[in-house]
A and B are shown apart, each in its own frame.
Chain A
Amino acid sequence: MIPNFNRRQALALGAGAVTVAVLGASSGPALAKNDSDEAIAKFTGGKTPAQGKVKLDLPEIAENGNTVPMTVTVESPMTEQSHVTDVLILASENPRSGVATFHFSPASGIAEANTRIRLAATQDVIAVAKMNDGSFFMARKQVKVTIGGCGG
């Protein structure tokens, strides 16, 4: 077990906003909402994205919340007729939701991107893909960020 003070402190400093925990309050998902809903609405122009086509590859539990490996893949032939144009990545409970936006064209060949992202606490990572026909697809996956181990 046992707390990882340093990492948590580092996260708090880096994040610029600290959730004040009090007895009885939640430390799980369902903290104060950030602007992820608004960011999705802005990206889609108010359309509700459909489920499917988008795949988020993330660990269930982060080994280090400061640098979580993420791969996003969108199912698409990536032709002039049918391709992905943009993929928006959001973190539902970071102080600010924006993580990245990837831009694609048929020349990309495949709609896949990978990077490392920072997660301040247990939360959902959200990927919204915009297709060239104006449709939107979305996936989300929960990533747990733990204080420390207690294992075995």
Chain B
Amino acid sequence: MISRRELLQVGAATAALAPGGWSRAFAQQRMTQADLLRFEAVGNVTLVHLTDIHAQLMPVLFREPSINLGVGDARGHVPHVTGRDFLDLYKIPAGSAAAYALTSEDFTALARSYGRLGGLDRIATVLKAIRAERGDRTVFLDGGDTWQNSYTSMLTKGQDMVDCMALLKPDAMVGHWEFTLGAERVKAIAEKLGFPFLAQNIRDTEWNEAAFEPMTMLERGGVKIAVIGQAFPYTPIANPRWMMPNWSFGIREEDLQGNVEKARQQGAGLVVLLSHNGFDVDRKLAARVKGIDVILTGHTHDALPDVVRIGRTLLVASGSHGKFVSRLDLDVRGGEVKDFRFKLIPIFSDVIAPDAEMAGKIAAIRAPHEKMLGEAIGRTETLLYRRGNFNGTLDDVICDALLTERDAEIALSPGFRWGNSLLPGQDITREDIYNATALSYPAAYRTTMTGARLKEVLEDVADNLFNPDPYYQQGGDMVRVGGVSFTIDVSQNAGHRISDLKSLRTGKPLDAAKDYVVTGWASVNEGTEGPAIWDVVMRHIEKRRVVAPGEAGRVRVLGT
């Protein structure tokens, strides 16, 4: 038996007790803000990275994926290691605060013990503490997916996030979901940001000229630092191209190599890529583009407690939804990183004190909507979550809502990586639904599709996720389905992964030639018609009062 004093000493990542018997207060008593921030500083530069917050101003429950399959060279490597394997790999005790923050293991029980993570006011506290300690050595970088996917960000077209982030004074940012506000809105915001909105990989379609600044030069701790920005390369494919018709994206590896060389010629002693490529793309890119010291990765929402080294490049993966802030201290001398130290700082919202200025700003933004957002419209009896390669329980609720409310036989729901979790027994509020659906193209369409066409759609999306070459992957997790079940073999080639597609209503295989009524949302097509998805889901939950999706088994996975 460990005494309480010892428990206090071992800190967040090392206590190996079963979570069940721990009261929330006791669990948190072990952790202090000082513990979470403790860091033995190294060198002359500190990079602070926040990414993929998806407009979550408030602390969240967010279950990390239990299934996140890697293919090709990424197979079996982080971030494609989940659950118990992840704990073993990083030697994290089951039931610990770190286990809760980083994996899906015992999520429900641990969430009750350790509470929510994130909150931009807590992040402000952490950032201020680092700046107070490191002064002009500090660089703060925002990896994008910042301005969209909450109610207030949707209502204000990202202004709430822009105003809050302004208090944190980032040195630069990049984008992805930002572009779903439309090109004009993005340009208008970017011009007034006060810091650069970078994208070395966006060009205008008419003259092939750079649409944004590719990089910015900073001087910190006596080191010239080049920060090169990389927007999500497949934004106009994964999201509606009509919202940014005059911009062309892509990975643009050669342009990037050119920018790295230009940065070195201009005297950069440290070259940082602020990237929204996704981890596997960045891993491949790090091995091919020479001269990048650090890649701050984003897009795929991976939270890794250590850097990944590819040759001389350090890859940092800082998670999502405001759950973590990364701190990377670097000793840069003679144009080389001589030493470094890293910490993925978990933002335990009950442990880290909110920053008063930011808390005030957030409260003011939310005040007019707080009552509506907090209104309970039903309750869930089971854990609701989205993140993972295939159907999550939250998506099952959305698909059920679509099937009933839109009177269809088959439902499709996008495999977004954003969307919070709800615990069994928890009330479902309007805000919970907005946090899972808020975007600028919400129409819940109703159409017909042949069985052959549906299979083609599933194959196409599967290749976006499971093409063995990460440069050919785009978009989110696998499209979620309602009303049908299928088998997917992730080891097969494009066009050969999906089989055994069956209607759940009839139990029969889908007929290739027959038309089926299909409903879905977030179509990338301009002019898509239908009610907003949040209204569809809320109507459904209000009628049901209680939802209790199980692990529905709509998808059978082979070839792992």
Using CB atoms and an 8 Å cutoff, list the residues of chain A in contact with chain B.
Answer: 1-6, 21-30, 57, 59-64, 69, 122, 142, 144, 146-152
Contacts and interface: CB of A to CB of B under 8 A. Distances in A.
Contacts of B241: 63-64
Contacts of A23: 451-452, 455, 501, 509-510, 512
A61 B455 CA distance: 20
Given A1-B479, A2-B523, A60-B250, A146 B464 contact: yes
A150 B464 contact: yes
Interface of B: 145, 176-177, 208, 232, 234-241, 248-251, 254, 299, 412, 414-418, 445, 447, 449, 451-453, 455-457, 459-461, 463-464, 467, 469, 471-472, 474-476, 479, 493-496, 499, 501, 509-510, 512, 520-525
Given A22-B512, A152-B177, A152-B239, A1 B522 contact: yes
Given A59-B250, A148-B523, A150-B461, A26 B495 contact: yes
Nearest to B479: A1
B475 A28 contact: no
B495 A61 contact: no
A59 to B, nearest CB: 5
5 contacts: A1-B414, A1-B524, A6-B525, A146-B474, A147-B456
B452 A152 contact: no
Given A59-B250, A148-B524, A27 B474 contact: no
A1 B467 CA distance: 16
Nearest to A151: B238
A57 B258 CA distance: 15
A61 B449 contact: no
Contacts of B449: 3
A20 to B, nearest CB: 8
A25 B453 CA distance: 11
A144 B471 CA distance: 10
A147 B523 CA distance: 11
B525 to A, nearest CB: 6
A4 B238 CA distance: 11
A149 B495 contact: no
Contact of A28 (B248, B455, B459, B509): B459
B248 A63 contact: yes
B496 A61 contact: no
Contacts of B445: 2
A1 B461 contact: yes
A150 B248 contact: no
Contacts of A69: 208, 248
B145 A122 contact: no
Nearest to B494: A28
B453 A149 contact: no
Contact of B476 (A2, A142, A152): A152
A149 B465 CA distance: 11
Contacts of B469: 60
Given A29-B494, A60-B471, A60-B472, A2 B522 contact: yes
A1 B412 contact: yes
A43 B252 CA distance: 31
Contacts of A27: 455-456, 459-460, 494-495
A148 B415 CA distance: 13
Contacts of B512: 21-23
A1 B469 CA distance: 20
B475 A149 contact: yes
A144 B250 CA distance: 12
Given A2-B414, A2-B522, A22-B512, A152 B475 contact: yes
A151 B475 contact: yes
A21 B456 contact: yes
B463 A22 contact: no
Contacts of B208: 69
Nearest to B513: A22
A80 B340 CA distance: 55
B503 to A, nearest CB: 13
Given A29-B494, A61-B474, A149-B239, 11 more contacts: A3-B457, A6-B525, A23-B452, A28-B494, A28-B495, A60-B251, A63-B249, A149-B237, A149-B475, A151-B239, A152-B418
Contacts of B523: 1-3, 148
Contact of A21 (B177, B234, B414, B452): B452
A65 to B, nearest CB: 10
Contacts of A64: 241
A25 to B, nearest CB: 8
Contacts of A148: 237, 457, 460, 523-525
A57 B493 CA distance: 24
A61 B234 contact: yes
